[in-house]
Amino acid sequence: MAMGGERMAFSDQIGSVQLHLTRYVWALKHCVGRRVLDACCGIGYGSDLLGQVGLEVLGVDCSPEAIMAAQAYNRGNVTFQECRIEDLSVRPLFDTVVCFEALEHLDDMDAGMAKLLSLTMPYGTLLVSLPVHCGENPWHHARDYSVAQWDEFMGKLDLEMIRFYQKPGDEVPSFSNCDIQYRTHSTEAAAGYSLYIVKKGLS
């Protein structure tokens, strides 16, 4: 499953940085005292943030440059590994798996989702964020999906889940533009992010 596209850097516009950080803040309560995987972690800022509450955090990314940058974080309970997520094999499994803005780059999203679930322990939690674009976008994603299309893709899992939505921000956003709202703009939004909390069953 080839991966290509962008990674957030702190040299990006403040709106983009704040939107990314808000998603990790949203994830924090699902990581308290847990073993956490930050799949496709990029430069590691999110893994470090999750490490403030998580018992142990592993950040994984296929980019050697990203992992080199991530090593600057020296929180003792956070480690990083250069690896394609589809090649990762770790035991024990993770209580919480976080995967933000990665699945849309994969050649085989079904296989990617199956891998993420296989790394999540029974009754664990998978947190997924996916970009919403209706039409052309500048980010080189393999797919431009609407909220409804992401709902259809995620619904194939037949697992307990709830969906949230994050509006796109301006270059200098207000905090309201970074709010993550429960099930709003279910099929109307032309841009933003769909976020899913997936509860894995026993199987």
Map tokens 């933000």 to a residue.
Answer: 100
Q: Is the model's pLDDT at 36 over the cut of 90?
A: yes
Tens digit of each residue's pLDDT (9 = 90 or more) over 153-191: 999 999 999 998 887 755 444 444 556 776 655 566 667
Residue 113 phi/psi, 5° resolution? -65, -40
DSSP state of 81: E
* Sequence ranges of the domains in the chain: 14-199
**Structural tokens at position 158:** 């037949």
Q: Considering just the CA atoms, what is the radius of gyration of the chain in Å? A: 16
Q: What's this model's pTM, rounded to 2 decimal places?
A: 0.85
Q: CB of 120 within 8 A of CB of 197?
A: no
Domain 14-199 class, CATH top level: alpha beta
Q: CB of 194 within 8 A of CB of 162?
A: no
**Average pLDDT of the residues of the chain:** 83
Q: Which amino acid is at 201?
A: G
Tens digit of each residue's pLDDT (9 = 90 or more) over 46-71: 999 999 999 999 999 999 999 999 99
